[in-house]
Chains A and B, each alone.
Chain A
Amino acid sequence: MQPILEMRDITKTFPGVKALTNVNLTVMPAEIHAVVGENGAGKSTLMKVLSGVYPDGTFTGKIMFEGKEQKFSTIGDSEDVGIIIIHQELALVPLLSIAENIFLGHETAKAGVINWYEAFARTKELLAKVGLKESPDTLITNIGTGKQQLVEIAKALNKKVKLLILDEPTSSLNEKDSDALLELLMGFRSQGISSILISHKLNEVTKVADRITVIRDGSTIDTMDCSDGTVDEDRIIRAMVGRELSDRYPPRHAKIGDPILEVKDWSVYHTHHAERHTIKGVNLTVKAGEVVGIAGLMGAGRTEFAMSLFGRSWGQKITGSVKLHGKDVDVSTIPRAVDAGLAYVTEDRKTYGLVLIDHIKHNITLANLEDVSKKGVIDDIRELQVANGYRRDLAIRSSSVFQKTGNLSGGNQQKVVLSKWLFSGPDVLILDEPTRGIDVGAKYEIYGIINKLAEAGKGVIVISSEMPELLGMSDRIYVMNEGRFVAEMPVAEASQEAIMRAIMRS
């Protein structure tokens, strides 16, 4: 049988990073093909190549669809041949109706005048196909995430889909909605529609997939056929995390002392959905000189936990106690949290970390202007010395401290954010994905900085989706899933398999 899709030797490089190296992916007609891999392994990049987000010419390799070579230069091109991608973040307009969303950009119109009767009738047909019993004029904002997924799929069906790509479709769904969605995919399979399913949930993958392709570090590791009975979760996990830990992590010499930070019964509700219990009674301890890792999948609640702890910058109805050096402290606002000795280095440095239009010097002193000023008047010389000091110590590669942070590379931007928080003189630093989007060399430097902090007796919490990094950097690892700490292990007892198992079996 001829494959419906063949991607051959796909290589895609970003400035400084090779995201995909000779990746091969073959999808048969009427097949559910799962693509699994760790965060950052290259799954999303591969799908962006396939759907024309990265136009032909920006990567090397061939895409064959239904036996013909395809050169997509826009998403529209890939949609025209029947490849439809449904992203993790749904692309629906909340305040428009289901019908309006389904026909957005493809309105049933003559000379610009919309024929609503036709739109409604066709929406009803499509909704019936995906098993959604909602009126076409219901607003998107009034239906849950699960149903919104179905609307997205109905939208795809309207575009005569032949290959449906779902990126983490069940990550924000409850079990019942997930099952319904997976059954729908199986229904499509029997109608001859192929799907590519990207998922972290291996139980789902093994349940519905015909074949599974594992991607790791931008390369295809293995394509497994589920029909031969040799595929189980352990085999997939081994393939996903298979690399060995080498000396990609600098040596560590910190002495671990008394507890600095103790968080008890930390409970948080979602910022926008007051009924959603996001963090459910988390307990955490960090000792002086200790690096504590928090592992978990996307959406486990790690960032939400960290931000709620840091001056309640996320969530509502927050309860629980925080002790620093054995004393209860008030961390109810960001200034109070900073005063108490906390610092939080955000996972999204461009949105939450830096003033990109301003230069390095101003960014470094922003969280602690008090120390470079007297009675509200900034001491320019002192500020410059501080900035130059961090630029030298952290090796921020730049023309001077007057370079705009927006023009720096990811690694150097991260060093500026780190400098800012080091200058605030914290006792405990929370680093959220500190090496995301940073090349290997800069990663090593960031690890060195983390170790120095620990050696100076500070407590460090590292949140990371890269498990090797957590294993290489931490003394102790908490595993988080669905708002709870489901396991705690000293690094000596931790392994990628153990972490994955703790997540899967929680």
Chain B
Amino acid sequence: MAQATETSRDKIDILHFVKANIRDYALLISLLIIMAYFQYSTHGTLFMPVNMTNIILQNSYIVIMALGMLLIIVAGHIDLSVGSVSGFIGAVAAVFMVQWKMDTALSVIICLALGAVIGALQGYFVAFYRIPAFIVTLAGMLVFKGLALTVLGGASVGPFPKEFQLLSSGYVPDVTTFQLFGQPFNVLAMAIGVVVTALIIRANFKERSNQLQHSMAEEPNMIFFGRNILIAIGFLGFTYLMARYRGLPNVLIVMFALIVLFTFITTRTTFGRRIYALGGNEKAAKLSGINTERLILLTFTIMGALAGLAGLIFAARLNVATPKAGLGFELDVIAACFIGGAATTGGVGKVVGAVIGAFLMGVMNNGMSIMGIGIDLQQVIKGVVLMLAVFLDVYYKQKQG
């Protein structure tokens, strides 16, 4: 009897918890459903090692920019210039490396710094003159689109030096010549995958035991274990697919490191906490002694640097800088954040949400292209998905509030 009531209470807890966190689960479940659907409708192409690798390469720069955009959106602002800035930085890189034959490493460093300066400049107007970010970055969007054209003289400039191309097209080399099913299998990649998975699971359990110790664990046991099993399957399955193609792309390493870094920044640091407070209630944050102006300036600076990095990755991938590079990226980046659960009013949003949001869009792009759906219809579908995601967000908030 006691046993029975215990279980039913557990069930209520689980239901309650899922309800309270419905947004996070809905996002993950949507991604899984979409992947399953495309896996079926592309007759298994989606999960082929080469295609998985492609999805990573195609979306890395969107994911990287989404990290910075998430900070900006959480702070209650927006950056429309990231596409143009990334295009401009790619163009500058081409001028440095191809036309001026500058050292690759030096060029990369200067380009990243230039991106940061551009971000800081825009952030300066937003933070200290309180000009809406929408206006400042709309202006920036036009300015840097134009400057990219100017720098390139209206033509495409390339190809880039070999070592620069490695940024996008390189892979972490394998240490063995092991073969699986008669095909090369990247053991190092798989090993890294296993280690990373183990580290993540270990970190989760450590956090969990800390929470239990201080009785702040809100997540029911079943959900916690289930979540970790899913994470393990996801990561191991993913690295397995990567290993069966050419291993881990360099850009994946960069992207993953940044995701970890930004997750840490948003969840564990005072800087991150203050950004959430700023977006949640700017006046209260200010009156709590938080230097909100400097905070805004910093988020825009970070965004600029990330846009620069994304521009370099994109240029390296195409192996040429074109005046059209970066066109419309800002829309994908912003959409990724909002699909990922960031609130338009600021103060709410998670890094992992933005990343999943970006991949959700990426998988849809990829899947629809394989299915041969025209670019026209793709746009329509992506638009509907964005609208639906934000609508559900608002709908559940109204229901709860």
Q: Which residues of A contact B (CB under 8 A)?
A: 310-311, 313, 333-335, 337-338, 344, 346, 351-358, 362, 366-367, 369-370, 373, 376-378, 380-381, 384-385, 400, 402, 420, 424
B286-333 residues with Cβ-Cβ distance < 8 A to A are 286-291
**Cβ contact within 8 Å between B268 and A378:** yes
**Cβ contact within 8 Å between B284 and A381:** no
Given A366-B288, A378-B270, A380-B210, are A358 and B216 neighbors across the interface (CB < 8 Å)? no
> At the interface, yes or no: B269 with Cβ under 8 Å from chain A?
yes
Query: In the complex, what's the smallest C-beta–C-beta distance from A288 to chain B, in angstroms?
Result: 23
Given A370-B270, A373-B270, A420-B288, are A356 and B281 neighbors across the interface (CB < 8 Å)? yes
**Cβ contact within 8 Å between A355 and B281:** yes
Given A334-B289, A354-B281, A362-B277, are A376 and B269 neighbors across the interface (CB < 8 Å)? yes
> At the interface, yes or no: B273 with Cβ under 8 Å from chain A?
yes
Q: For residue B276, which residues in chain A have a CB less than 8 angstroms away from its CB?
A: 355, 358, 362
**Interface hub of A333, A334, A366, A367 (most chain B Cβ within 10 A):** A366
**Cβ contact within 8 Å between A357 and B347:** yes
**Cβ contact within 8 Å between B214 and A381:** yes
Given A335-B289, A366-B290, A400-B216, are A351 and B270 neighbors across the interface (CB < 8 Å)? no
Question: What are the 8 A-B residue pairs with the smallest beta carbon separation, nearest first?
Answer: A355-B280, A367-B288, A338-B289, A369-B270, A355-B281, A335-B289, A366-B288, A334-B289
Indicate with 1 or 0, residue by residue over B51-91, a CB within 8 angstroms of chain A CB atoms.
Answer: 00000000000000000000000000000000000000000
Q: Which residues of B contact A (CB under 8 A)?
A: 210, 214, 216, 218, 268-271, 273-274, 276-277, 280-281, 283-291, 347-348
- The 8 Å CB contact of A384, one of B216, B271, B289, B347, is B216
**Cβ contact within 8 Å between B287 and A377:** no
Q: For residue A334, which residues in chain B have a CB less than 8 angstroms away from its CB?
A: 286-289
Q: List 22 A-B contacts (CB under 8 A).
A: A333-B291, A335-B290, A346-B287, A351-B281, A353-B284, A355-B276, A355-B277, A355-B281, A355-B284, A362-B277, A366-B274, A366-B284, A366-B288, A369-B274, A373-B270, A376-B270, A376-B271, A378-B268, A380-B210, A384-B214, A384-B216, A400-B216
**Cβ contact within 8 Å between B277 and A358:** yes
Complex-state Cα separation, A342 to B216, whole angstroms? 32
Q: For residue B280, which residues in chain A have a CB less than 8 angstroms away from its CB?
A: 355-358
- List 7 extra interface pairs beyond A335-B290, A355-B276, A377-B269, CB under 8 A: A310-B287, A334-B289, A346-B287, A357-B347, A358-B276, A378-B269, A385-B214
**Interface hub of B280, B290, B347, B348 (most chain A Cβ within 10 A):** B280
**Cβ contact within 8 Å between B347 and A355:** yes
Q: For residue B290, which residues in chain A have a CB less than 8 angstroms away from its CB?
A: 335, 366
Q: For residue B287, which residues in chain A have a CB less than 8 angstroms away from its CB?
A: 310, 313, 334, 344, 346, 352-353
Given A352-B284, A353-B284, A376-B271, are A366 and B277 neighbors across the interface (CB < 8 Å)? yes
Q: For residue B288, which residues in chain A have a CB less than 8 angstroms away from its CB?
A: 334, 366-367, 420
Q: For residue B210, which residues in chain A have a CB less than 8 angstroms away from its CB?
A: 380-381
Q: For residue A385, which residues in chain B have a CB less than 8 angstroms away from its CB?
A: 214
**Cβ contact within 8 Å between B273 and A378:** yes
Chain B residue with minimal CB distance to A358?
B280
**Cβ contact within 8 Å between B269 and A354:** no
Complex-state Cα separation, A224 to B126, whole angstroms? 57
Q: For residue B273, which residues in chain A have a CB less than 8 angstroms away from its CB?
A: 362, 366, 369, 378
Given A377-B269, A384-B216, are A358 and B285 neighbors across the interface (CB < 8 Å)? no
Complex-state Cα separation, A354 to B216, whole angstroms? 22
**Cβ contact within 8 Å between B285 and A355:** yes
Complex-state Cα separation, A357 to B346, whole angstroms? 10
**Cβ contact within 8 Å between A313 and B277:** no
Complex-state Cα separation, A397 to B306, whole angstroms? 44
Complex-state Cα separation, A351 to B285, whole angstroms? 10
Q: For residue A362, which residues in chain B have a CB less than 8 angstroms away from its CB?
A: 273, 276-277
Q: For residue B286, which residues in chain A have a CB less than 8 angstroms away from its CB?
A: 313, 334
**Interface hub of A333, A351, A354, A380 (most chain B Cβ within 10 A):** A380
Query: In the complex, what's the smallest C-beta–C-beta distance from A461 to chain B, in angstroms?
Result: 16
Complex-state Cα separation, A353 to B271, whole angstroms? 20
Q: For residue B347, which residues in chain A have a CB less than 8 angstroms away from its CB?
A: 355, 357-358
Query: In the complex, what's the smallest C-beta–C-beta distance from B345 to chain A, in angstroms?
Result: 9
Q: For residue B270, which residues in chain A have a CB less than 8 angstroms away from its CB?
A: 369-370, 373, 376-378
Query: In the complex, what's the smallest C-beta–C-beta distance from B393 to chain A, in angstroms?
Result: 13
Q: For residue B289, which residues in chain A have a CB less than 8 angstroms away from its CB?
A: 311, 334-335, 337-338, 367, 424
**Interface hub of A334, A337, A355 (most chain B Cβ within 10 A):** A355
Complex-state Cα separation, A310 to B288, whole angstroms? 11
Q: For residue A424, which residues in chain B have a CB less than 8 angstroms away from its CB?
A: 289
Query: In the complex, what's the smallest C-beta–C-beta distance from B343 to chain A, in angstroms?
Result: 8
Chain A residue with minimal CB distance to B401?
A406
**Interface hub of A311, A313, A358 (most chain B Cβ within 10 A):** A358
Q: For residue B285, which residues in chain A have a CB less than 8 angstroms away from its CB?
A: 355, 366
Given A366-B277, A366-B290, A369-B274, are A357 and B284 neighbors across the interface (CB < 8 Å)? no
**Cβ contact within 8 Å between B284 and A377:** no
Q: For residue A367, which residues in chain B have a CB less than 8 angstroms away from its CB?
A: 288-289
Chain B residue with minimal CB distance to A344?
B287
Complex-state Cα separation, A367 to B283, whole angstroms? 13
Q: For residue A402, which residues in chain B have a CB less than 8 angstroms away from its CB?
A: 216, 218
Query: In the complex, what's the smallest C-beta–C-beta distance from B58 to chain A, in angstroms?
Result: 34
Q: For residue A384, which residues in chain B have a CB less than 8 angstroms away from its CB?
A: 214, 216
Q: For residue B271, which residues in chain A have a CB less than 8 angstroms away from its CB?
A: 376
Complex-state Cα separation, A298 to B289, whole angstroms? 27
Query: In the complex, what's the smallest C-beta–C-beta distance from A169 to chain B, in angstroms?
Result: 29
Chain B residue with minimal CB distance to A379?
B268
Chain A residue with minimal CB distance to B280?
A355
